[in-house]
Amino acid sequence: MPRLARLDIAGLLQHVIVRGIEQRDIFNDDHDRQLFFDRFTKLLSETGVRCYAWALLSNHFHLLLMPTSTALSSFMRRLLTGYAVSFNRQNKRSGHLFQNRYKSIVCEEEAYLLELVRYIHLNPLRAGMVKSLEELDQYPWSGHAVLLGNRTFAGQETEAVLERFGRKLCTAQAMYRQFVAEGIKEGRRDELVGGGLKRSQGERPLNEYESFDARVLGNGDFVDSLKQEEQLRDKMKSAVSLAQLVAAVASALGLEADSVRKPSKSRLPALARGIICHLAIFEFGYLGSEVGKYLYLGSSGVSLAAKRGEKYLKAERAVRKQIADAIEK
């Protein structure tokens, strides 16, 4: 399916994940990490981008950022391009270092800031870069040691994180460390790397099919608030129109596009509308109300249809591929 454009929105928290091409290492040693860290520090100072958490591993890294006056895309382009040039020169190599697209997820701040700080800072422990929380406390290549006062990094928003744990610095640091320790047993948190609400809900009641966007970590109301803000509409807009989606689904099911939009209790057109509802809302970023208006369905009808469509597409992957191929034409 075509990719949605990144949501490069000032003033919103963004979880950024960058991986090496073909899962190769992007840091061979601490010298490489220092090269990256120096460039990262300089750019934060120059651009006003705020950093709340970070962790450098071997073949990828995580950043929790909030762009202010500089677009995230500009910041990341300068960071990645500059480091790749230095890395290639240092290691006598050429060609791409990173996967073509870094992943960035807009996050609902109050609901997810602390969860993401913990998740990101536990990455070196989960990846085996350190063997214990005590080692992580001293690990120089994440923001965890900075929050504990064991390392210094002027570019990190330590106060904004620690003030959520207490007024006194020593108390806040102790409470923060306890919070991190409690997160160790939770293991991987796949719901924190995009589309958190949908991934964490599992099987949902039919009347709770909330708005979802794979580029957003937040509840349905937060997703809707982004989509409804007029100045963000162009950024949120899907590259696939509803007319294109209807035509692709109709083609995959051997139907006429006009028959899909008309109210009908016939099985195949009803199934087509379900597939359209699911894909439009959960893969192409449309509001349920937009889809309902286009297909002449009420809000409950959209929820029921989307649920049917989701179930069908999970079982019929070949049809899903046919739809994707039709859209790409």
Looking at residue 279, its pLDDT comes to: 87
- Does pLDDT of 213 surpass 80? no
- Domain boundary, last residue among 186, 211, 245: 186
**Is 43 domain-assigned?**
yes
CA dist., res. 233 & res. 290, Å (int): 13
> What's the distance, CA 165 to chain centroid?
26
The residues near 180 (Cβ < 8 Å, ≥ 6 apart) are 118, 121, 122, 133, 136, 144
CATH of the domain at 164: 3.30.70.1290
- Mean pLDDT computed over every residue of the chain: 84
Pair 208, 176 in one domain: no
What is the tens place of the pLDDT at every residue in 228-262?
Answer: 654 455 554 556 889 999 999 999 999 998 889 87
- Does pLDDT of 201 surpass 50? no
- Does pLDDT of 8 surpass 80? no
The residues near 139 (Cβ < 8 Å, ≥ 6 apart) are 124, 129, 130, 145
Look-up of token digits 């982004």? 226
- Does pLDDT of 203 surpass 60? no
Q: Summarize the confidence of residues 210-224 as an average pLDDT.
A: 70
- Does pLDDT of 199 surpass 60? no
Pair 203, 131 in one domain: no
Q: Summarize the confidence of residues 96-110 as an average pLDDT.
A: 81
- Domain boundary, last residue among 127, 155, 186: 186
Looking at residue 19, its pLDDT comes to: 93
- Does pLDDT of 92 surpass 70? yes
Look-up of token digits 């929105």? 9
Domain count, the chain: 2
- Does pLDDT of 128 surpass 80? yes
| Phi-psi region at 228: left, alpha or beta (left = phi > 0; alpha = psi -120 to 50) | alpha
**Is 1 domain-assigned?**
no
Looking at residue 115, its pLDDT comes to: 92
CA dist., res. 104 & res. 314, Å (int): 26
Looking at residue 190, its pLDDT comes to: 65
Pair 209, 83 in one domain: no
The model's confidence at residue 206, banded by pLDDT at 50, 70 and 90, is: very low
Pair 33, 150 in one domain: yes
* Domain span holding position 68: 13-186
Q: Summarize the confidence of residues 106-116 as an average pLDDT.
A: 83
Q: Under a CB-based contact definition with an 8 Å cutoff, are residues 57 and 25 in contact?
A: no
Pair 160, 239 in one domain: no
CA dist., res. 68 & res. 190, Å (int): 27
- Does pLDDT of 200 surpass 50? no
Pair 43, 175 in one domain: yes
Percent share of the chain, pLDDT over 70: 83
- Does pLDDT of 207 surpass 50? no
What is the tens place of the pLDDT at every residue in 16-48?
Answer: 999 999 889 999 999 999 999 999 999 999 998
What is the tens place of the pLDDT at every residue in 130-184?
Answer: 999 999 999 999 999 999 999 999 999 999 999 999 999 999 999 999 999 999 9
Pair 302, 205 in one domain: yes
Looking at residue 98, its pLDDT comes to: 92
**Is 8 domain-assigned?**
no
Pair 151, 257 in one domain: no
CATH of the domain at 286: 1.10.1750.10
Instruction: For residue 54, give the H/E element and its range.
Output: strand 50-56
The model's confidence at residue 219, banded by pLDDT at 50, 70 and 90, is: low
Q: Which residue has the higher pLDDT, 278 or 132?
A: 132
Taking the CA atoms of the chain, what radius of gyration do you get in angstroms?
A: 22
Pair 177, 250 in one domain: no
CA dist., res. 239 & res. 177, Å (int): 43
Looking at residue 78, its pLDDT comes to: 93
**Is 7 domain-assigned?**
no
CA dist., res. 176 & res. 50, Å (int): 20
| Burial class of residue 31 in the structure, from the number of CB atoms within 10 Å of its CB (0-12 exposed, 13-18 middle, 19+ buried) | exposed
The model's confidence at residue 217, banded by pLDDT at 50, 70 and 90, is: confident
Least confident range from 104-108, 234-238, 260-264, 308-312: namely 234-238
3-class secondary structure, 224: helix
Q: Summarize the confidence of residues 266-272 as an average pLDDT.
A: 91
- Domain boundary, last residue among 154, 186, 218: 186
Pair 150, 275 in one domain: no
